[in-house]
Amino acid sequence: MNNFVFQNPTKLIFGKGTIARLAREIPGDKTVMVTYGGGSVKKNGIYDQVTAALKNHRYIEFWGIEPNPSVETLRQAVALGKEHHVDYLLAVGGGSVLDGTKLISVAIPYSGDAWELVLNAELLGDALPVASVMTMPATGSEMNAGAVISNKTTQEKFAFNYKHPQFAILDPETTYSIPAFHIACGLADTFVHVMEQYMTTPDQSWLTDRWAEGILLNVVEIAPKIAENKHDYHLMSEYMLSATLALNGLISMGVTQDWVTHMIGHELTAIHGITHGQSLAIVLPATMTVLQAQKRGKILQYGERVWGITTGTPTERVLAAIDCTEQFFRSLNLATHLNEVQIGEETIAEVERRFNERKVALGEACNVNGAIARAILEACL
């Protein structure tokens, strides 16, 4: 097991009716900016619950943080927050609203441009406290320090890591209104978060492996049942908690990590606007295919413990495990090939060029460069 430090200060408040707790979780002397996405919260009753809970607080609202939050939109929120001297931020929405709010929290106290903070971690200084009402299980952003921000002008998408949110309210009833496609993307994102921390080499931490496999098994079990009935409180609770635990630091304890699939997926989103979870469903099976020699031991363990693959030669079992992974994404009605989303050679060349220019060395073995990214994208054409 590798050395590690684990500290996760985010308070999780989980369950029915918990949005009302905003009233006592946010200190009464704060000036709050509540941030929202495109308006789904007005149709499903979440907005009414938030405003009722905050009736004795001083707050302003910022609307319009879009999926794959752009720095162009967030600059407007920063200006509004500065103008009103806000000193607390509450994100109400999915990972995009929360990630955008994390950037706002560091950009309000900063005198320069917000994009500089995304590009250069050394510039990150003071941050306003952030909390969330998370309405979309997927990113784990509610209980991690990460945020992924897009720049529409330059067609770039980068992550930064800084501070955890103060608290997260997770009410599974808020998920009933999520469209089927976004549920599929959220389940795929959760699955791939686990894989990025698990699909490396075996025997680093048996315990961490079993936590990871537990989340994978849970996601595989609930996915078809949620497709049948997304108003089932128990199922949506399992989905919500799986997404949070998949990326809150729990399953990275003591082990190496990969993240190649995410880094390639972010480029597909930056260039084509493709939804995050969908991009991962395309790339992950190809990443496993191209890197199968280096990941062989772990793919065999995964195949046996998650998919029950116990017969055949090792090579046959590796290929069967990769196929099960792709079939799982297909069972979610997601695309698993680039040609299904009209992406071809031009984009492959651009991703290769970007990775070469940035001199990336990704994955647990730090060996994924532009050429290997090309091989992965060609494998999912």
Figure out which of the listed residues 18, 101, 135, 287 binds ligand NZQ, where binding follows CB under 6 A: 135
- Tell me the per-residue interface mask from 185 to 214 with ligand NZQ, x by CB under 6 A, - otherwise: -x--x-------------------------
- Cβ proximity to ligand NZQ: between 18 and 96 the closer is 96
Q: Which two tokens stand for residue 104?
A: 């706002």
Sheet holding 31-36, edge to edge: 11-14, 167-170, 130-134, 88-93, 31-36, 58-62
Counting contacts by CB under 6 A, is residue 261 touching ligand NZQ? no
Q: How far is the CB of 202 from Zn ion (least distance, A)?
A: 23
Q: Mind spelling out the 3-state secondary structure of 113-152?
A: CHHHHHHCHHHCCCCCCEEEEECCCCCCHHHCCEEEEEEC
- Alpha carbons 66 and 68: distance in angstroms, whole number: 6
- Binding segment for ligand NZQ (CB under 6 A), chosen from 88-96, 200-208, 211-219, 250-258, is 88-96
In the structure encoding, which two tokens stand for residue 270, read together?
Answer: 């930056």
Range 44-63, binding ligand NZQ (CB under 6 A): 44
Q: Please name the residue that has the structure tokens 């930064």.
A: 160
Q: Which two tokens stand for residue 371?
A: 């050429």
Q: Which residue from 31, 177, 292, 331 is in contact with ligand NZQ, where contact means CB under 6 A?
A: 177
Q: How far is the CB of 6 from ligand NZQ (least distance, A)?
A: 16
Say how many residues touch ligand NZQ, by CB under 6 A.
Answer: 34
Partner touching 178 among Zn ion, ligand NZQ, none, CB below 5 to 8 Å by kind: ligand NZQ
And the tokens for 114?
Answer: 């917000």
Rule CB under 6 A: is residue 262 a binding residue for ligand NZQ?
Answer: yes
Rounded to the nearest 10 degrees, how much is the dihedral formed by the CA atoms of 152, 153, 156, 160? -80
Our CB check for ligand NZQ shows the closer of 178 and 373 to be 178
**369: left (phi > 0), else alpha (psi -120 to 50), else beta?**
beta
Compute the least distance from the CB of residue 301 to Zn ion, in Å. 23
Q: Can you list the pairs that 4-7 forms with residues at least 24 positions away whose Cβ atoms lie under 8 Å? A: 4/252, 4/253, 4/254, 6/249, 6/253
**How is residue 368 written in tokens?**
């994924």
Report the residue from 140, 165, 249, 370 that binds ligand NZQ according to the rule CB under 6 A: 140
- Least distance (Å) from ligand NZQ to the CB of residue 338? 18
38 touches, from Zn ion, ligand NZQ, none (C-beta below 5 to 8 Å by class): ligand NZQ
9, two tokens: 């200060």
Q: Between residues 1 and 180, which has the closer beta carbon with respect to ligand NZQ?
A: 180
The count of C-alpha atoms lying within 13 angstroms of the C-alpha of 91, restricted to the half-sphere facing its C-beta, is 36
User: Which of 104, 226, 239 is CA-nearest to residue 171?
Assistant: 239
Q: Which is nearer to Zn ion, 189 or 267 (CB)?
A: 189
**Measured at CB, which residue is nearest to Zn ion?**
189
Q: Which residues of 270-307 are buried (b: 16+ CB within 10 A; e: fewer)?
A: bbeebbbbbbbbbbbbbbbbbbeebbbebbbbbbebbb
Quick check: 164 binds ligand NZQ (CB under 6 A)? no
List the interface residues with ligand NZQ, window 265-324 (CB under 6 A).
276
When asked if residue 141 is in the footprint of ligand NZQ (CB under 6 A), the reply is yes
Is residue 352 a contact point for ligand NZQ (CB under 6 A)?
Answer: no
Check binding of 174 to ligand NZQ (CB under 6 A): yes
Candidates 33-41, 221-229, 304-312, 368-376 — which segment interacts with ligand NZQ by CB under 6 A?
33-41
Q: DSSP E strands: which ranges in 144-248?
A: 146-151, 156-161, 167-170
Residues that bind Zn ion (CB under 5 A): 189
Is residue 68 near ligand NZQ by the rule CB under 6 A?
yes
101 binds, among ligand NZQ, Zn ion, none (CB under 5 to 8 A by kind): none
How many CA within 13 A on the CB side of residue 46?
28
| Residue that the structure tokens 């996601």 belong to | 219
236 binds, among Zn ion, ligand NZQ, none (CB under 5 to 8 A by kind): none
Q: Does 172 bind ligand NZQ (CB under 6 A)?
A: no
List, in sequence order, every residue forming a beta bridge with 158; answer none if it has no partner.
149
Residues at the site binding ligand NZQ, with contacts judged by CB under 6 A: 37-41, 44, 67-68, 93-97, 99, 135-136, 138-141, 144, 146-148, 174-175, 177-178, 182, 186, 189, 247, 262, 276
